[in-house]
Amino acid sequence: MNITIRIPSPLRRFTEQAAQIELNANTVGEALMALNAQYPDLQTQLMDEQGKLRNFVNIFHNKIDIKQLQGMESTLDEGSELRIVPAIAGGKK
């Protein structure tokens, strides 16, 4: 399926400043594998040493958190959109 992945500003330095990437994938897991193959430096930002999605990274499939779907096995349709949303913390105490 032809899908779009939206890249947030803090991660664009790993995607040659691309704000969105189009690729072919049938599941969320396949999409992330293809994305990481295309942009290897991005992989360490999204995945841990075991290849699992980092706890502070959220993926939304058509505005629904994949944790509410089937996670990495969530199926994609033609034209699906994935958004990567890393949690950002900081500020003064």
CA dist 63 and 34 (Å) reads 21
**Residue 93 belongs to a domain:** no
pLDDT in tens, 46-73: 999 998 999 999 999 999 999 999 999 9
6, 1, 12: which is closest to 62 by C-alpha? 6
Gap between the Cα atoms of 54 and 56, Å rounded:
6
| pTM beyond cutoff 0.75 | yes
Total tally of structural domains belonging to the chain: 1
pLDDT of residue 88: 74
pLDDT value at residue 90: 60
Is 39 a domain residue?
yes
pLDDT of residue 66: 97
Question: CA 74, 78, 79 angle in degrees (round to 5)?
Answer: 100
Checking if the pLDDT of 3 tops 90, the result is yes
Express as a percent the part of the chain with pLDDT over 90.
Answer: 91
Answer yes or no: is 92 within a domain. Answer: no
CATH number at residue 23: 3.10.20.30
Q: Is residue 91 part of a domain?
A: no
- 22: DSSP letter: E
Alpha-carbon distances of 39 from 22, 42, 49, 57, 73, rounded to whole Å: 13, 6, 17, 17, 21
